[in-house]
């Protein structure tokens, strides 16, 4: 494509799961102007301050423009693509042949905006026999997903635009978004006297400022606070008994457990006034509708899987399902993870694999061993686990112990520096791309983004990389591909028949279907949209699984939907449901929600005797390692000049702690944990409680400066501990790290 200067190009933000629609105006390859796309089907022109700085993603960092191969002396040599593909394919095949394909571990699948590559990675993994994978979701959502699998069978979303009461747990949508048009919706709730907002958070966040009730609990005590609220609902008979009788099973055991809770004692453990707990329960229990949202503040803290269960009991016990303002499952363009109650185990340590993903805190333990089933190679796509996973030092050691590490990324990240091969990707604005964060109900949307710019010379899209590797491995015979190419030239209907016939005769092709689609249907798609070929198969799935909802959205059949996706520069609504349709999404034969989760009821029962404090004399602070702030983003920004405020990423401290330690704003302090030590500038901030401190996310990158690198701010995972993790899901305690803080001694 040739970029037209001065023209507004439609695309989307890539910084959070909402992927708001954008218009970008170019000057050469720079993003001269950025604004919200008012025609976008989901965001309707809304955007936040971070999206307006996306030129720092596209043009701010040092891009890779040729494949790199690590030499024996540790240095990198630029090689051409033919050599890179040949050598990488040969070395992956060698690991497979010597140790088994299941010893090749896959991590990633795209960040907040580039998921198409991950869709094609499945074909390569199947071709190699690679069974195990993980991603950033395994640091956050697997416990919640496991709970969802038991209750509703899939992810649930809140109707916050219509909810009478909105509850946010460890979630600050003002900064981290997640809720569509978050700041607009939060302000609407705050201004409406008939609606209420309840926030559970140890920090007085910007969202808490707008709340009617802020339960500013002690860090790590969310489970006790939630249980106290649920106990009040039961003990004061604020439960929707008719809903439970008609639509659930097993509620008696849950109600019995909550009926015996000592509300005053649990509120005291949480450090929240009992009267405020009771007020929150009363407001929830008497509301016409309630929607809740939990996020990293609780999902990366103690008892996270139990908290996910307690959160969902808030709206289940009060009957807030399948109605305006309540909670709902939803359609999927493609599920992001497996929602299954079945639990598989990792081959070495026996860690639980939930949602099909190995817990991130277990990955290095699976490698750093002499066990014959250990992982021997990794493919890491569009992710930076050497920076983002707990205990970075341990993960670096694990990478170095592998026989082969292949990294696919736009830049020489902290992870890429440990790789044997680095394959340079086109940026998210230089290729056809999409996200599968399609999480809304009753209207669900999808946006296939056209490239804004030509790929930087020397780079390839991830789908093209995977296709070249598959060709080199000889995965699919040329004759079979030729048949489908010929059918594709005749039209979609002949292609569909030929594709189905080929799959019927060769079952092995199902696992590598994305590659087959890319090679055969892909070249026929308009404007070079070859990477969109996999969406044709997903459109067929939608027509089969959600036919009525697809028709309500205005699509005659799967091909009509696929055509709308290809043409929809501002996205497309692919399903429209009625609120009652939420029941159809339940996988249970009787369409009743089984409220009692057998494994979690003992955890709820034992909460009274569970340790609520994890600090000590040696480490008296709780450090939240990775707070979202106005000028932080995930490490997709490899350029620190975009930060107009707090460029170094200050350590936030309560004023009382600062006085006790003899620290003032701007002073340097040392933070020490069991795993490491770092130095940060101090910001005195009364949003923090005494004994609670925070560092921002997204800093501590090693950015190139000439022949060396410089680091701005603290790399938080030099301080985190991989042994601090949820007992069920294995999710890390990034937001609850026992630490010591001391003034930096002047020399």
Which residues partner with 9 through β-bridges?
A: 24
Return the closest-CA partner of residue 215 out of 192, 199, 203, 204. 199
pLDDT tens-digit profile of 279-288? 999 999 999 9
**CATH number for the domain that contains residue 272:** 3.40.228.10
Contacts 24+ apart (CB under 8 A), 552-561: 552/576, 552/577, 553/443, 559/492, 559/493
Any idea which residue has 């069920």 for tokens?
728
As a whole number, mean pLDDT of residues 655-677 equals 98
- pLDDT value at 658 more than 70: yes
Q: What letter would DSSP give residue 630?
A: T
pLDDT tens-digit profile of 682-733? 999 999 999 999 999 999 999 998 888 999 999 999 999 999 999 999 999 9
**CATH number for the domain that contains residue 18:** 3.30.200.210
Selected residue with higher pLDDT from 338 and 264: 264
119 in a structural domain: yes
Q: Output the pLDDT for position 644.
A: 87
- pLDDT value at 195 more than 90: yes
Name the domain count of the chain: 4
Encoding tokens for residue 326? Answer: 């309540």
Q: How far is CA 412 from CA 62, 63, 82, 420, 621, in A?
A: 8, 8, 20, 12, 34
Q: Output the pLDDT for position 732.
A: 98
Q: Output the pLDDT for position 746.
A: 58
532 in a structural domain: yes
As a whole number, mean pLDDT of residues 421-433 equals 98
630 in a structural domain: yes
Q: Is the dihedral of CA 541, 545, 547, 550 positive or negative?
A: negative
126 in a structural domain: yes
- pLDDT value at 2 more than 70: no
Residues 741, 670 contacting (CB under 8 angstroms):
yes
The residues, any chain, with a CB within 8 Å of residue 506's CB and separated by 6 or more, are 480
Cβ of 666: how many Cβ atoms within 10 Å?
10
- Domain boundary at 58, 79, 94, which? 58
The number of residues in the chain equals 747
- Helix (H), strand (E) at residue 35: strand 30-36
* Distance in angstroms (rounded) separating the CA atoms of residues 501 and 508: 13
Cβ of 644: how many Cβ atoms within 10 Å?
10
Asked if residue 554 and residue 405 are part of one domain, the reply reads yes
**Domain enclosing residue 468, as ranges:** 68-131+376-435+443-576
20 in a structural domain: yes
Confidence band for 747, pLDDT divided at 50, 70 and 90: very low
In the chain, pLDDT over 70 holds for what percent of residues? 99
Asked if residue 85 and residue 180 are part of one domain, the reply reads no
Return the closest-CA partner of residue 298 out of 394, 112, 167. 167
Asked if residue 178 and residue 47 are part of one domain, the reply reads no
- pLDDT value at 111 more than 90: no
Q: What letter would DSSP give residue 727?
A: T
Q: Output the pLDDT for position 3.
A: 55
Asked if residue 538 and residue 399 are part of one domain, the reply reads yes
Q: Output the pLDDT for position 456.
A: 97
As a whole number, mean pLDDT of residues 388-415 equals 98
Angle subtended by helix axes 304-317 and 142-151, to nearest 10: 40
- Domain boundary at 605, 626, 655, which? 605
Residues 728, 143 contacting (CB under 8 angstroms):
yes
* Distance in angstroms (rounded) separating the CA atoms of residues 260 and 328: 30
* Distance in angstroms (rounded) separating the CA atoms of residues 300 and 304: 7
Asked if residue 507 and residue 399 are part of one domain, the reply reads yes
Asked if residue 147 and residue 43 are part of one domain, the reply reads no
Asked if residue 658 and residue 520 are part of one domain, the reply reads no
359 in a structural domain: no
Asked if residue 599 and residue 453 are part of one domain, the reply reads no
Cα 571 to its chain centre, rounded Å, is 21
As a whole number, mean pLDDT of residues 592-605 equals 97
Asked if residue 687 and residue 552 are part of one domain, the reply reads no
**CATH number for the domain that contains residue 732:** 2.40.40.20
665 in a structural domain: yes
Return the closest-CA partner of residue 418 out of 403, 399, 398, 394. 399
Asked if residue 513 and residue 389 are part of one domain, the reply reads yes
Average pLDDT for the chain: 96
Q: Output the pLDDT for position 454.
A: 97
As a whole number, mean pLDDT of residues 1-15 equals 82
As a whole number, mean pLDDT of residues 234-242 equals 98
Asked if residue 234 and residue 107 are part of one domain, the reply reads no
- pLDDT value at 169 more than 60: yes
As a whole number, mean pLDDT of residues 405-431 equals 97
- pLDDT value at 346 more than 50: yes
Confidence band for 61, pLDDT divided at 50, 70 and 90: confident
Q: How far is CA 561 from CA 431, 571, 576, 741, in A?
A: 21, 12, 13, 56
As a whole number, mean pLDDT of residues 210-231 equals 98
Q: Output the pLDDT for position 426.
A: 98
360 in a structural domain: no
**CATH number for the domain that contains residue 429:** 3.40.50.740
Asked if residue 427 and residue 293 are part of one domain, the reply reads no
The model's pTM is 0.97
């Amino acid at each position: 494509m040739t970029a037209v200067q001065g023209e507004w190009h439609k695309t989307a933000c890539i910084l959070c799961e909402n992927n708001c629609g954008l218009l970008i105006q170019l000057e050469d390859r720079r993003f001269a102007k950025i604004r919200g796309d008012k025609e976008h089907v989901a965001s309707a022109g809304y955007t936040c301050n971070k999206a307006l700085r996306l030129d720092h993603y596209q043009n701010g960092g040092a891009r890779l423009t040729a494949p790199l191969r690590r030499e024996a002396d540790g240095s990198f040599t630029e090689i051409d693509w033919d050599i890179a593909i040949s050598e990488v394919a040969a070395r992956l095949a060698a690991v497979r042949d010597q140790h088994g394909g299941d010893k090749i571990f896959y991590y990633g699948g795209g960040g907040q905006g580039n998921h198409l590559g991950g869709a094609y990675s499945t074909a390569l993994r199947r071709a190699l026999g690679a069974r195990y994978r993980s991603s950033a979701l395994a640091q956050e959502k697997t416990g919640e997903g496991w709970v969802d699998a038991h209750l509703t069978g899939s992810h649930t979303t809140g109707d916050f635009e219509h909810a009478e009461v909105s509850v946010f747990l460890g979630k600050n949508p003002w900064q981290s978004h997640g809720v569509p048009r978050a700041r607009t919706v939060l302000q609407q709730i705050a201004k409406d006297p008939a609606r209420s907002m309840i926030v559970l958070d140890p920090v007085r966040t910007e969202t808490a400022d707008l709340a009617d009730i802020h339960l500013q609990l002690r860090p790590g005590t969310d489970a006790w606070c939630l249980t106290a609220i649920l106990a009040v609902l039961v003990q004061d008979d604020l439960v929707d008994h008719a809903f439970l009788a008609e639509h659930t099973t097993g509620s008696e055991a849950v109600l019995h457990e909550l009926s015996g809770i000592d509300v005053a004692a649990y509120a005291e453990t949480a450090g929240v006034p009992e009267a405020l707990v009771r007020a929150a329960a009363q407001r929830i229990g008497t509301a016409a509708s309630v929607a809740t949202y939990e996020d990293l503040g609780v999902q990366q803290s103690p008892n996270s899987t139990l908290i996910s269960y307690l959160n969902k009991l808030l709206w289940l016990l009060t009957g807030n399902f399948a109605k305006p303002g309540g909670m709902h499952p939803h359609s999927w363009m493609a599920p992001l993870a497996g929602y299954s109650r079945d639990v598989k185990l990792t081959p070495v340590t026996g860690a639980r694999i939930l949602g099909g993903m190995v817990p991130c805190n277990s990955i290095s333990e699976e490698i750093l061993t002499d066990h014959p089933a250990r992982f021997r190679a990794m493919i890491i796509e569009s992710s930076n686990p050497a920076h983002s996973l707990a205990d970075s030092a341990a993960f670096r050691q694990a990478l170095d112990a592998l026989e082969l590490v292949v990294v696919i990324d736009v830049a020489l990240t902290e992870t890429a520096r440990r790789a044997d091969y680095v394959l340079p990707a086109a940026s998210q604005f230089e290729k056809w791309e999409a996200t599968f964060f399609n999480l809304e109900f009753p209207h669900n949307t999808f946006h296939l983004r056209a490239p804004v710019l030509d790929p930087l010379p020397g780079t390839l899209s991830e789908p093209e990389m995977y296709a070249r590797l598959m060709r080199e491995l000889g995965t699919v015979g040329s004759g079979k591909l030729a048949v489908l190419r010929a059918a594709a030239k005749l039209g979609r209907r002949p292609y569909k028949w030929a594709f189905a016939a080929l799959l019927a005769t060769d079952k092995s092709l199902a696992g590598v279907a994305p590659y087959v689609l890319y090679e055969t249907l892909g070249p026929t798609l308009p404007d070079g949209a070859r990477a969109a070929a996999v969406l044709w198969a997903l459109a067929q799935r939608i027509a089969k699984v959600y036919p009525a909802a697809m028709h309500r959205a205005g699509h005659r059949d799967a091909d009509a939907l696929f055509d709308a996706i290809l043409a929809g520069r501002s996205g497309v609504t692919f399903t429209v449901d009625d609120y009652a349709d939420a029941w159809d999404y339940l996988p249970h034969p009787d369409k009743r929600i089984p409220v009692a989760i057998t494994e979690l009821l003992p955890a709820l029962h034992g909460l009274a005797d569970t340790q609520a404090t994890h600090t000590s004399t040696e480490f008296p602070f709780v450090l939240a390692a990775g707070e979202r702030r106005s000028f932080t983003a995930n490490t997709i920004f490899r350029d620190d000049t975009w930060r107009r405020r707090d460029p170094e990423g200050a350590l936030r401290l309560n004023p009382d702690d600062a006085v006790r330690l003899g620290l003032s704003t701007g002073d340097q302090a040392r933070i020490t944990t069991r795993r490491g030590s770092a130095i940060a500038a101090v910001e005195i901030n009364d949003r923090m409680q005494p004994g609670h401190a925070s560092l921002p996310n997204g800093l501590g990158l090693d950015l190139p400066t000439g022949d060396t690198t410089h680091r701005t701010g603290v790399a938080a995972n030099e301080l985190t501990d991989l042994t601090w993790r949820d007992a069920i899901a294995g999710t890390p305690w990034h937001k609850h790290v026992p630490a010591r803080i001391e003034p930096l001694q002047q020399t």
